[in-house]
Amino acid sequence: MVYVAAVLLMLVNSVAWLTTFVTLPGNWILLLCTVLYAYFLPAGYFPRVSWTVVIVIAVLAVIGEIVEFLAGAAGAAKQGGSRWGVFLSLVGAFVGSLAGAILLSFIPILGTMIGALLGGALGAFGGAWLGEHNTEKTHQERMAIGQGAFIGRILGTVGKLIVGVIMLVLVTLDSFFDLKKEPIPEQLSTEAEVSYLFNWKSNVVEPSPTSAERSVVSTDM
């Protein structure tokens, strides 16, 4: 039964990871599902996800957010983009990723992933370019800012996805193989021993008396 639950956790976490393509907090959804699994899995079920692994993936989720933010924002800012341009690049990335995922959804899974990634990058480009529209920057400068946002968005998303894969692998391995090798509680071990001894005694067959023993009993009577 515990392995069925582990398979379900792996599937749910995989879907959560995929939502990162459309700028949703996929790594945080993965973390939430893992926390719920670790908390609500009955105490007698082993292997299970340890709280040590939960803490590790929580740290990784924070790292993923930092990577995505720095890469995405720095892409436009490095080319001289304004705060408004950086903000619109983030908005454009969100809208573009959703639009790209919908437009290429006719290609199962892969189309949605590619569409969301490219759509988000194009949206970041458009948002950054539009954000510099009323500034004194030239057309070439605005294009450079947009290109920076485009590249930054791709790098940020890829970096966050890589972190998410590490999280997914850690949780999956721990749910199937118990990476920390947590000992089974003493109470459960004692109950298992009692059950084993009871079953062993019930299966012991008393030896039947030999013919000599039966004759001795008859003589005594």
HEC readout, 111-140: HHHHHHHHHHHHHHHHHHHHHCCCCCCCHH
Predicted confidence (pLDDT) per residue in 15-51, tens digit:
999 999 988 899 999 999 999 999 999 888 888 899 9
Question: For 177-194, what is each residue's pLDDT tens digit?
Answer: 987 665 555 544 444 444
- Tell me: pLDDT of 86 over 90: no
Domain spans of the chain? 2-182
Instruction: State which H helix or E strand residue 183 sits in.
Output: none
Q: Which of 96, 165, 160 shows the shortest CA–CA distance to 128?
A: 96
pTM of the model: 0.73
Can you tell me the distance from the alpha carbon of 61 to that of 63, in angstroms, rounded to the nearest whole number? 5
Q: Which residue is associated with the tokens 């892969």?
A: 110
* Residue-averaged pLDDT of the chain: 83
